[in-house]
Structure 1
Amino acid sequence: MTRTIAERLDDPEAAQAEGRRKMDWAEAHMPILAELRESFAAEQPLDGERIAMAMHVEAKTAVLVELLAIGGAEVAITGCNPLSTQDDVSAALHAVDGVTSYAAHGVDTEEYYDAIEAVVDVDPTITVDDGADMVTHIHDEHPELIPQLKGGCEETTTGVHRLRSMADDGALDYPMFAVNDTPMKTLFDNVHGTGESAMANIAMTTNLAVAGKTVVVAGYGYCGRGVAKKASGMNADVVVTEVDPRRALEAHMEGHEVLPMNEAAAEGDIFVTTTGNRDVITREDFEQMADGVVLANAGHFDVEINLAELDDLAETRREVRDGVEEYALPDGRRVNVLAEGRLVNLAGPLSMGHPVEVMDQSFGVQAVCVRELAANPDAYDAGVHEVPDRLDREVAEVKLDAEDIDIDTLSDEQREYMDSWDHGT
């Protein structure tokens, strides 16, 4: 039987206290979830719901999970990455009424999927996922649960890609909100969250300067743009690699050099992959790299840097610093890989994930989407759905209020003008 986090730890009470301390700090800086907590506590919109979650279990996620429990739900959670769980936070979550946590740091592949199986035992009515492993597991192993599922929410780009592929194949059998794609997530979490946390964790893990170096960013979607923006702000030269001609042109017009990866490999000092695809950096690229380069991945899965090919090229491997593995090549060059090629902003030894204020927005969207599924279970057919604009705007308005920012409103005349097609010159 899969063990809960409390059953794994030698001193769960001490871990719980430290995890609670981290949660309290995050909660104090999450005004969106604070306002939702008041309404969820009063209205109990999730009463009777059973929520299965696979997420990065750290302090900010824990504030969301506690909010769902306060709203009346029974919640079971595990990690969505073997290295991103913080055991003390998982222990603190497990102590929350209505929450069971199976998330543990450093589990192997078998334990990872066993924990997902244990979470499914909550007999869910709603799922919340980061990477779509929970959704695919339910479809593959527990299709009998699908008729009772009101829907789910997907947090990240990779997960939405997987869900859209499932839908295209006719294999997605319950409704999913693409939380990743809504403006209050994409414009802030993907750009500023990924950019800031990836570059900050590269700098902290290596203790090396970014200024004056060449940073190669693979992919110029929202995450790649964020990494490029933050690297430029740290006074690095930025090279972008892309497969989409429009994104490549956008990177060029925003002042970055654009090259194929094999050419960029010879120029870069730091490489950051953000594509969500596999084999972005391969043997041919390693062969072009200078001595001492740093490789980091900011995509969801550890497939962007082909570590099997790098290991095949290397004569030796050793951990030269916590979270930094050095691959020594036969000609004396050294290639340094951070966080085992996993999410550098969550899987490294110092990683804290995205800034608290950014995740307040993303998790605010998650919370109102769960509330929407509970309230309107028959409104959405099987498939991938955009987050209703009214929900995204609700979260934005709460954030503006918290920041004491006022904005203009349309007059009746302006609204009529915008809604009419027959106004001319």
Structure 2
Amino acid sequence: MRENLIRDINLAPSGHKKIDWVKGYMPVLSFIEKKFTEEQPLKGKKITMSIHLEAKTAYLAKVLKAGGADVTVTGSNPLSTQDDVASALAEDGLKVYAWYNSTSEEYNNHLNSALDIEPNIILDDGGDLVNLLHTTRQELIKNIIGGSEETTTGVLRLKAREREGKLKFPMISANGAYCKYLFDNRYGTGQSVWDGIMRTTNLIVAGKNVVVIGYGWCGKGVAMRAKGLGAKVIICEINPIKAIEAHMDGFKVMPSLEAAKIGDIFITVTGDMKVLSKEHYKLMKNGAIMANAGHFDCEVWKPDLEEMSIEKREMRKNITGYVMPDKKILNLLAEGRLVNLAAGDGHPAEIMDMSFSIQALSIKYLINNAGKLENKVYDVPDEIDKEVATTKLKSMGIEIDRLTEEQEKYLKSW
């Protein structure tokens, strides 16, 4: 097995500071770390993580190691790895294979190196590990108990495999937990996308026409925060029910080609490809800003931008300006990759506290139920969702009501 593949171990002190900072705001995961340290529920198991490698995910990796697991970590996006955090994990004894701005070849090498541990459990973010295990690394499947998937995009890919009968081991959809999508997808994405955009552009949001394409939980969060910042928000949708919901939430709803004519800032949040493409670029006005909040860099279609433009400029760090024949400039943030991570620090620590607690407990569940689960995509068990929510409330000093025996009996009667 290879040694760590990181940029510079000397960056570790900065990474340790980042990890220590977020740990102070992740009380549920800290509680789980204490229990894992005492009970060692993951002892003897090998776990490979492919995830956005920053401080909060690093803390999750350390919690899994505290539970007795042998953990290897790699990135899930070439632009989201923070080199100082990767170095801190390596200094703490974890095997790390990731660095910022890796080439496609380097990125795939990192993924494969992390899999060389011959894992029993995988923690995936977008589905790259699952894809490798089903294609070029099939010899490792015999060791796999199962895995968990963090994102909407990854779950879509898993369910496509399941429908075709081609999923080779059980996977838990961490993304499907209430404590994940209600908070992580909505409040986490909503805040972190705007953190990334505002940090990168240094422009005001108030008064601008913001076009949000996709009104799922992530899109709802992005739109809600845009409204709070004073933007005039336009929603583009393909789902008639979500379109009505957006309308009743107070937003304008229109086709994306109509929105292309008036938008100042465009944010794609769909998980699909070519969401913004040639026909949109023709209609956009000079100075339009495009950002993607979906997992892969295919939503804002770059081949069309490359083909149509007569010049490409670096406007600022993480902003590429495409000069069109009529001299208008269309600006793409973070190469069309996840703007909240490629141009920011990702979701707030308090939000990821719940999501990563779901992940940790789901991994424990997979180990406890090894050999009992079918090769399909499972929802997070309800008891895990409620355990995380209950612990989170306790950490916030919030108490809630309980049903009396009489009330419970009434609700169960006909």
TM-score calculated relative to the size of structure 2: 0.98
Question: Which residue of the partner structure matches residue 370 of structure 1?
Answer: 363
Alignment of 1:354-365 (within 5 A): 354-365=347-358
| Counterpart residue type for residue 368 of structure 2 | A
In the TM superposition, what whole-angstrom CA distance separates every residue of 1:146-165 from its partner, at most 9, and x where no partner exists? 23311100000000000000
Aligned match of 2:165 in 153, 170, 176?
A: 170
For the 8 Å contact 1:126–1:151, the answer to whether it is kept is yes
C-alpha distance 256-162 of structure 1, shift in aligned 2 (>3 A): same
RMSD (CA atoms): 1.1
Matches within 5 A, 1:13-412: 14-97=10-93, 99-348=94-343, 351-412=344-405
- Could you tell me how far apart the structure 2 residues matched to 1:379 and 1:192 are? 35
Q: For 2:149 and 2:341, how far apart are their aligned partners in 1?
A: 18
Separation in structure 2 between the aligned mates of residue 377 and residue 419 of structure 1, nearest angstrom: 34
Looking at structure 1, the residues matched to 95 and 208 of structure 2 have their Cα atoms a distance apart, in angstroms, of 45
Task: Give SS of 2:135's match.
Answer: helix
Matched, 1:5 2:5: yes
Separation in 2 of the partners of 1:181 and 1:195? 18
Give the whole-Å Cα distance in 2 for the aligned partners of 1:5 and 1:86. 13
Deviation digits for residues 279-300 of structure 1 (CA, Å, limit 9, x no counterpart): 0001110011111010000000
Q: Is the 8 A contact 1:190 1:223 kept in 2?
A: yes
Distance 2:383 2:141 in 1: 27
1:173 counterpart letter in structure 2: K
Query: Aligned residues, how many?
Result: 414
Of 380, 405, 409, 1:416 maps to: 409
Cα displacement (A) at 1:213: 0.2
**Structure 1 residues 325-368: Cα deviation after superposition (integer angstroms, max 9, x where no partner):** 111111121101000000000012xx100011001110010000
Asked if the contact 2:190–2:224 (Cα under 8 Å) also holds between the matched residues in 1, the reply is: yes
* SS at 2:74 equivalent: strand
Cα separation, 1, equivalents of 2:345 and 2:369: 35
CA distance in 1, matches of 2:195, 2:14: 23
CA distance, structure 1, for counterparts of residue 115 and residue 196 of structure 2? 33
C-alpha distance in 1, partners of 2:115/2:258?
46
Q: Distance in 2 between matches of 1:403 and 1:181?
A: 24
Contact 1:5 1:90 in 2 (8 A): no
Structure 2 unaligned blocks of 5 or more: none
Measured after TM superposition, the shift of residue 200 of structure 1 is 1.8
Identity of aligned residues (%): 45
Contact 2:184 / 2:352 at 8 angstroms: preserved in 1? yes
Superposed CA deviations along residues 82-129 of structure 1, whole A, max 9, x for unmatched, are 0000011001111223x2000111111111111111111111100000
Q: In 1, distance between residues paired with 2:164 and 2:16?
A: 43
Q: CA deviation at 1:144?
A: 2.8
Shift of 1:142: 2.3
In the alignment, is the contact (CA less than 8 A) between 2:90 and 2:96 conserved in 1?
A: yes
1:324, CA displacement in angstroms?
0.6
Does structure 2 conserve the Cα–Cα contact (< 8 Å) formed by 1:2 and 1:115? Answer: no
Retained in 1: the 8 A contact 2:132–2:138?
A: no
Unaligned runs of 5+ in 1: none
Give the structure-1-normalised TM-score.
0.96
CA deviation digits over 1:233-276, x for unaligned, max 9? 00100001111111111111111111111100001000000000
Q: Distance in 2 between matches of 1:141 and 1:191?
A: 35
Q: Residue type matched to 2:376 in 1?
A: G
Take 1:69 and 1:292, find their aligned partners in 2: how far apart are those partners? Answer: 47
What SS class does the counterpart of residue 141 from structure 1 fall into? Answer: coil
